[in-house]
Amino acid sequence: MTTSLVKVENLHRSFGTVRAVDDVSFSMHSGEIIGFIGANGAGKTTTMRIIATLDTAERGTVLYRGKDTRDHQHEVRRIIGWMPDHFTPYNAMTTRDYLKFFARAYGFTGREQIMRVEEVADFTGVKSFMDMPARKVSKGMTQRLCLARMLLSDPEVLLLDEPAAGLDPAARLELKNLMRVLADEGKTILISSHILNELESFSDRLLFINQGKIIFSGNPSELRREIQGRSSFFLELAADTVTDQTAVIMLRLKEFLLCHGEIADVSIQAKSLTFECPAISDSEIAALLKLLINEGFPLLQFRRQEQQLENAFVEILARDTKRGEHEMV
């Protein structure tokens, strides 16, 4: 059985009337990458800042290896690295001086300091711009520098607040690879984003937060299971050009589909169409396809579409909003 490295228990934090964090509980296990997903203002940063001991919860606790982090702030700040979503390096310092400054703050001196700075610079790819003024480097480089600064103290837990925001696709991929290497080295990572697609491919577990509450916790396949039982289909007519006649056939096709079983959400785009259907077996799909052909619909394509995980997030969010409205009545 895996024991939790960090245990977040019933955290509450409000700002005036805003419940930024509302009874949040979850655990982080050694070497795990957790994707922390939520819309703007959902409560991600506040939760992470409390874990990093940079903010205090009104109620609830964060335990690191069973110890209350509030009672061990000094130790915790070395062990739990924090990468904020906004980061501006100091003026007029080169990247090297910037890292040396923080290495000194962590107690590294002399040769050990030089070695540590070189080591993190190497790992994060900062080495190529060590002599540049830290404020002059690009967004991607700034993110790497921030990561390098965080890694100086060799923290066991990494909290990264929207590190991919504003990065180009290549820099995102590099960041992803770095995260995987860090997790393989045994680091435990909580990484936030408001875009699920950014995190699902390399997260071991996903946590969804909405209006301060955790509304889903599970791995990507568990998330897929949440939306199983509903299939989405794509259908395309064989037509070289889209004419009035095509539009008529599409409307007839839509009506035909709506008369069959539990087909819903039929949406027409020129000569193609998508629809959704709850739990349908392969033989029922085959029967439907046969019916369409027998009816004389000129089909070029008919296929089941993979449900996007992003849809699952939207669905869970909608379910949670509905539940909230219900509770208010």
* Residues in touch with ligand ATP (CB under 6 A): 15, 18, 20, 38, 40-46, 85, 194
CA dihedral of residues 18, 20, 22, 28 (deg, nearest 10): 180
17 or 109: CB nearest ligand ATP: 17
277's enclosing H/E stretch is strand 272-278
Nearest alpha-carbon partner for 82 in 191, 158, 187: 158
62 or 280: CB nearest ligand ATP: 62
Number of alpha carbons in the 13 Å side-chain half-sphere of residue 59: 10
What is the three-class DSSP state of 306?
coil
18 or 63: CB nearest ligand ATP: 18
The gap from C-alpha 157 to its chain's centroid, in whole angstroms, comes to: 17
If you search the block for the tokens 């900062």, which residue do you land on?
A: 126
> Smallest distance, Å, CB 208 to ligand ATP?
11
> Smallest distance, Å, CB 80 to ligand ATP?
17
193 or 307: CB nearest ligand ATP: 193
Q: Kindly report the CA angle at 222 between 201 and 177, in degrees rounded to 5? A: 15
The gap from C-alpha 289 to its chain's centroid, in whole angstroms, comes to: 37
Q: What are the backbone angles phi and psi of residue 204, rounded to the nearest 5°?
A: -80, -30
> Smallest distance, Å, CB 320 to ligand ATP?
15
> Smallest distance, Å, CB 194 to ligand ATP?
5
With beta carbons less than 8 A apart as the criterion, state whether 52 and 23 touch: no
15 or 92: CB nearest ligand ATP: 15
> Smallest distance, Å, CB 25 to ligand ATP?
16
45 or 95: CB nearest ligand ATP: 45
- Tell me how far CA of residue 179 lies from CA of 35, 134, 222, in angstroms: 11, 23, 22
> Smallest distance, Å, CB 195 to ligand ATP?
10
For CA atoms 137, 143, 146, 147, give the dihedral sign: negative
Q: What are the backbone angles phi and psi of residue 171, rounded to the nearest 5°?
A: -65, -35
> Residue 10: left (phi > 0), alpha (psi -120 to 50), or beta?
left
Q: What are the backbone angles phi and psi of residue 93, rounded to the nearest 5°?
A: -110, 140
114 or 165: CB nearest ligand ATP: 165
- Tell me how far CA of residue 296 lies from CA of 9, 184, 247, 249, 299, in angstroms: 61, 56, 15, 10, 9
> Smallest distance, Å, CB 136 to ligand ATP?
26
> Smallest distance, Å, CB 159 to ligand ATP?
12
16 or 296: CB nearest ligand ATP: 16
> Smallest distance, Å, CB 309 to ligand ATP?
19
Q: Kindly report the CA angle at 314 between 312 and 319, in degrees rounded to 5? A: 90
9 or 85: CB nearest ligand ATP: 85
